[in-house]
Amino acid sequence: MTTATPAKTKAYEELTSLLRDAAVLHSMQATLAWDQETMMPPGGAPLRAEQLETLAGMVHTKKTDPRIGELIAACEDDSEVMGDARRSANVREIRRDYELATKLPGSLVGELARASSLGMEAWKDARSKSDFAIFLPWLQKTVDLNRRKAECYGVPSWGAELYDALMDEYEPKMTAARTQEIFRPLREFTVKLVERVKASKAPAGVDEVHTAIPIEKQKEFSRRVLEAFGFDFRCGRLDESAHPFCEGAGPGDVRLTNRYSEKAWLDQLSSASHEGGHGLYEQGLPKAEYFGQPLGDAISLGIHESQSRMWENQIARSRGFWEWAIGVAKDVMGAPVAGMSADQVFRAANVVEPSFIRVEADEVTYNLHIMLRFDLERAMIAGDLKPKDLPGIWNERMKKDLGLTVPDDRRGCLQDVHWSMGAIGYFATYTFGNLYSAQFWEAMARAIPDRDDQIRRGEFGAILAWLREHIHGVGRQYSAGELCERVTGKPLASEPLMRHLEAKVESVYG
Amino acid sequence: MTTATPAKTKAYEELTSLLRDAAVLHSMQATLAWDQETMMPPGGAPLRAEQLETLAGMVHTKKTDPRIGELIAACEDDSEVMGDARRSANVREIRRDYELATKLPGSLVGELARASSLGMEAWKDARSKSDFAIFLPWLQKTVDLNRRKAECYGVPSWGAELYDALMDEYEPKMTAARTQEIFRPLREFTVKLVERVKASKAPAGVDEVHTAIPIEKQKEFSRRVLEAFGFDFRCGRLDESAHPFCEGAGPGDVRLTNRYSEKAWLDQLSSASHEGGHGLYEQGLPKAEYFGQPLGDAISLGIHESQSRMWENQIARSRGFWEWAIGVAKDVMGAPVAGMSADQVFRAANVVEPSFIRVEADEVTYNLHIMLRFDLERAMIAGDLKPKDLPGIWNERMKKDLGLTVPDDRRGCLQDVHWSMGAIGYFATYTFGNLYSAQFWEAMARAIPDRDDQIRRGEFGAILAWLREHIHGVGRQYSAGELCERVTGKPLASEPLMRHLEAKVESVYG
C-alpha cells in the first residue's frame, strides 16, 4: 500500500528553505566559535571577531527578511499546512522567532551589543579587583536596556510583569510568578536539607579519591564513559577549552569540550557527563530532516539543561553508575584508583558543602545560588532593588540561605558573567534543568522498571532510546511546559527534585 | 619634519573595502577547510560541503560585483592613485583578478566545477583499480574544458599559445616557451646527474637513520625546529592531516599540518620544514595592512613554493643544518638517535634514487617528474597528444629520463590529483619553486656572507629577515619575474639550481 505524501505548499517550502540558508550561516558561526575556544592561535582573534560579526549580521538579515513575514502569513492562511501537527507547530514557532527578531529597533540592538561588549570588559576588571563600583554603571545600564527590551517585546499574554518578557527569550511561556511558586518550596526544603548535612558526619574516605591522575588517562576515561552513554564520536568530538561547553553546529557535528587538572579526575567526569548530556540532546534532535526549522531545534534552555543534568547527576553521580564505572576507571587509570571502592567514589561525587561560587557548588546547594539570582534580578527589573544595593542584599541572602559570610564581591555578586553580557531572565533555567531532569527521571523509571540494574551493568541504551523518543526527537513541537505534561503527566513541580535530593543526601549522609 | 599622507580617493577606499569584505568571507572558507582536514568528525561532511559551497558562492559574487569594475576604472583614471607605486600596483593586480574572475561565463564555471568534482571521484576509482580507461573520458573532458577556458581568457599579450593562458592563472606572466627554455638544460643536466649517482657507491649508514621514534617526540622535534626558523606559534599552529598542507586564513592565523609514521621521523621533518616555509611566507605577507588586497597576497605558486623549498632543501637538507639539528634531535628524541652523526643524517636526508611517485621523489629526480608532466599537458592542450595516448608516452619518458619501467598506471599517469581537479598549467610551478629558491639562495649568500656559520649555530634570524625584506613583505607589488630580477639581478635561470644540485650530489656521493 502506498500513501501519497500531501503536496506541500510553495510558501512553506520557500520559508523553510530561507531558514535553512540562515542555519547554514549560523552553523559556520558555531564552528568558528568552537575553533576560537579550542584551536585558534591568539593572533587570530581580531580576524575571528570580524568573521563572527560578519556572520552575525548576515544571519540577522536573513532572519528578519520581510519576505519571511510574508511567507509566515501565507502559511497561516493555508489550511493544509495548519492542519498538519508538525508543520503547524513549525509555523507557530517560526512566527515566534520572527517576532522576537523583528520587535527590537536596530538602535536598541546596537546599544545592547555595545553594552554587552563594554560591560564584559568592565566586569572582568571589576571582578579581578573585587571592586563593585567599577561594574555598577554597567549593571545599571544593563537593567535599563533590559527594561527597554522588555517594553519592546511587551508583557506576554500569559504573563504579568516586564520580567516575563525577558524570561520568555530563554524559557518560552514560563513566568516569574510560576517560577516563584515552584522555587519557594524548593528553597525552604534545601535550606533545611543543608542544615541536616551540616549536622551530619562527613562521609568516609572522600579525600583519598582526589588523587592525581595523568590527564591523558582522564581523557580516555571520559571518552569511554561517553561512548557507553551513546555519544556518537563519528558525529562529534571531545576537546579541551578554558570552560567546558557543547557546540552543536548542525547535523553530524556536535562538539564537546572539557577542562582538566591532575587531581580533578572526578570533576572532569562530571563535566564530561554534563556536556555529553547536552551533546546527546543535540545529536538526538531531528536535524537531518528539520535543520534550520524549529522542529529541529532545542525547546528551551531549561530542557537543554535537563539533559545535561540528568547524565551528570541522576546518572553519573548515582551509586549504580559507579558500580560499573569504577571498573572502567581502574581499567583505564590503573594504580592510583586501584584501591578505591564504588561506594567511596560515589560518596566523593556527592559531598554537600555550602560555598561561595555557583559553578563550583554541589548538586544540593546549587539551586540556592540560582534562586538568589532569580529573586534579585527580578527585583531589579521591577525597580524594587537598586543595582547599587545589590552587594548588600546578595551577602545577606548568602548568610541566610547558606550560612556563609561573603568575604568580597569577587566571591559574591561579581562572580557571574551573565549580567555583564546583558542576560537577564537566564539564571532560572539552570534550576529548571534540575527540576525537569528529576521529573523526567521519575517518569522514565515507570517506563524502564529495571533501569537501575541496567546502569549497574553500564547499559544506557534504553535510557537514551527513551530520551530520544520522548524529548530529543520532538524538537520544538511543544513548549517546555507542554512537553513536561506529555512526558510526565504533570506540570513542572518541585517535588521530584526534592525527592531526588533527599534520597541522595540520605544515601551519602545517612 | 612632518610629511602629510596624500588623501586617498573615495573610489580606492571603497574598492579596497569591498575586497576586504570578500577576504573575510574567504578566510572563513580557509578555516573551515582546515577544520575539515584536521578536526571535523566524518558525520559533519555534508554540512561542511554546504557551508563551503555557500561561502564560495558569496565570495564569487563579491569578487565579480560590477561595482568593482567601475571602481577599478575610476582608480585607473585617478592620477593621484596611479602615481603611487604601491597603490597603482594594487589597482593593476585588482584589475587582473577581476578580469580572471569575470571572463568565464557562468555556464563554463559550473561545468568546470562539476567536472572537477565528478572527475576526482572517477580518478580515485581509476587509481585504486589502476585502470586508465575509467579516467580517460574525464581527462578528455578536462582537456576540452581547459581549452575552452583558455579561449575565454585569450592568449595573453606576452604569450604565444593557449596553454599560456592557463599557466597565467598559477604563474602570472610566465609562458610555456620560456618555461621550456629554462627546463631544457635542467632536464639534460639532471638525467646526467642521476646517471652519475647510479654509478656511485650508496652513502654509508643511511638505513640506520630510519629508526622508529615515538610520534609525540617527532612532533616536538619539528616544533623546536620551526620555532628556531622563526615560525610564530602565537599566530599559527601545527596539526595532523592525511596530507601535509599550510593554510593561511588571514592576519594572525596560519596553520600547518603534517603526517607521521614511526620510522619516518626524517621525512616528517622535511615536510614540516616545507610547510613551515609556506607558513613563514604567509606570516611575512603584509596582511595587517593589506588584507584582501593584492599587496597582501602571495605573488604566485612558484614564489610560494620557493619559500617552502628553501627551508626544506637549502636549509633542512644541508650539512650545516644537521650540525645544529642533530643536537636538538638527540635532546628531544633521545636514545634511538643518540649514536647518529650529523653527517650520517645529512646523507640520509639526501639519498638520490629514481622512483615512480612524484611526491616521494628526492630533490634531484623531483624535477624530472615535473618536466614530464609539463611537456605532456602542454601537448594535450595543443592537441599534439591525445589523452588516450597518455600512458604510453608517460611510460616511455619515465624509461628515458629515470630508467624506470612503470609497472602500472597507478604508479604512472594516474598518480596525481591535479588533472582530475581540472588543474592544467599548475605542475611547472613546483619546479619554478626549486629554481627561484636556488637563485634567491645565491643572492642571499652575497648579502649574508656568514650564513652557513649561522645555520650551523641554529641561527635563522638573518635569513628570515632577508626573506621578509626582499620577498615576503612586497606581496604582489611585482610579478614573479620582476621580483627575481630585483632580488637576484637576473631573470630566472636554471644554473643556480644546477649548481645547488651538483654540489649536493658531490657532497653526498663524492
- Where in the sequence is the domain holding A51, given as residue range(s)? 10-103
Quickly count helices (H) and strands (E) in chain B: 23, 3
Q: Which of B93, B275, B282, B305 is catalytic?
A: B275
Q: Which three cell numbers stand for residue A366?
A: 546549587
The closest alpha carbon to A319, from A341, A338, A337, A336, belongs to A341
The closest alpha carbon to A42, from B251, B47, B51, B64, belongs to B251
Query: Which residues numbered 228-257 in A keep a CB inside 8 Å of some CB on B?
Result: 232-237, 249-253, 255
Pair B47, A253: CB distance under 8 Å:
yes
Residue B485 pLDDT:
98
Measured between beta carbons, which residues in chain B are less than 8 angstroms from residue A237? 39, 41
Residue A7 pLDDT:
47
Report angle CA B102, B104, B110 to the nearest 5 degrees.
Answer: 115
Residue B8 has pLDDT above 70, yes or no: no
Residue A6 pLDDT:
43
Say yes or no for a CB contact (<8 Å) between B43 and A237: no
Q: Which three cell numbers stand for residue A378?
A: 527580578
Say which residues have a Cβ less than 8 Å from residue B492's Cβ, sequence separation at least 6: B182, B432, B435, B436, B439, B480, B481, B484
Strand bridging mode B236-240 / A246-250: unpaired
ipTM of this model?
0.93
Own/partner contacts of A212-215, CB < 8 Å, gap of 24 or more, are: A212/A262, A212/A263, A212/A336, A213/A262, A213/A263, A213/A265, A213/A333, A213/A336, A213/A337, A214/A262, A215/A260, A215/A261, A215/A262
Pair B372, B430: CB distance under 8 Å:
no
Compute the distance between CA of residue B205 and CA of residue B346 in angstroms, rounded to an integer: 10
Residue A433 pLDDT:
98
Compute the distance between CA of residue A444 and CA of residue A460 in angstroms, rounded to an integer: 12
What pTM does this model have?
0.94
| Straight-line distance from the first to the last Cα atom of chain A, in angstroms, rounded to the nearest whole number | 61
10-residue mean pLDDT series, chain A (510 residues): 51 97 97 96 94 94 96 96 96 96 91 90 95 97 97 96 97 97 98 96 95 97 98 98 95 97 96 98 97 98 98 98 98 97 97 96 98 98 98 98 97 96 97 98 98 98 98 97 98 98 96
The residue with cell 595573453 is: B156
Say yes or no for a CB contact (<8 Å) between A39 and B237: yes
* Residues composing chain B: 510
Say which residues have a Cβ less than 8 Å from residue B252's Cβ, sequence separation at least 6: A41, A42, A43, A44, A45, A46, A47, B235
Distance (Å) of CA B289 to CA A33, A217, B294, B297:
25, 45, 11, 11
Pair A237, A222: CB distance under 8 Å:
no
Residue A293, domain member (yes or no): no
Residue A86, domain member (yes or no): yes
Q: Which residue of B has its CA nearest to A53?
A: B24
Give pLDDT tens digits for A35-57: 999 999 999 999 999 999 999 99
Q: Which residue of B has its CA nearest to A27?
A: B51
Bridge partners for B250 per DSSP: B253
Pair A168, A156: CB distance under 8 Å:
yes
Q: How many domains does chain A have?
A: 1
Give pLDDT tens digits for B418-456: 999 999 999 999 999 999 999 999 999 999 999 999 999
Residue B49 pLDDT:
92
Residue A52, domain member (yes or no): yes
The closest alpha carbon to B26, from A62, A20, A54, A249, belongs to A54
Q: Which three cell numbers stand for residue B309?
A: 623549498
B136 touches A: beta carbon within 8 Å: no
Q: Which residue of B has its CA nearest to A31?
A: B32
Strand order in the sheet with B246-250: B236-240, B253-258, B246-250
Residue A74, domain member (yes or no): yes
| Residue B275 falls in the annotated catalytic set | yes
Residue A452, domain member (yes or no): no
Give pLDDT tens digits for B200-209: 999 999 999 9
The DSSP letter of residue A311 is I
Bridge partners for B247 per DSSP: B255
Residue A373 pLDDT:
98
B35 touches A: beta carbon within 8 Å: yes
Bridge partners for A159 per DSSP: none
Q: Residue A453: enclosing H or E segment and its boundaries?
A: helix A451-456
Confidence class for position B7, pLDDT limits 50, 70, 90? very low
Residue A59, domain member (yes or no): yes
Say yes or no for a CB contact (<8 Å) between B252 and A35: no
Say yes or no for a CB contact (<8 Å) between A31 and B32: yes
Residue B117 pLDDT:
87
Q: Which three cell numbers stand for residue B458?
A: 641554529
Residue A412, domain member (yes or no): no
Average pLDDT, chain B: 96
Residue A364, domain member (yes or no): no
Q: Which three cell numbers stand for residue A352?
A: 554537600
Choose among A51, A234, A235: nearest Cβ to B28.
Answer: A51
Compute the distance between CA of residue B13 and CA of residue B77 in angstroms, rounded to an integer: 15
Strand bridging mode A253-258 / A236-240: parallel
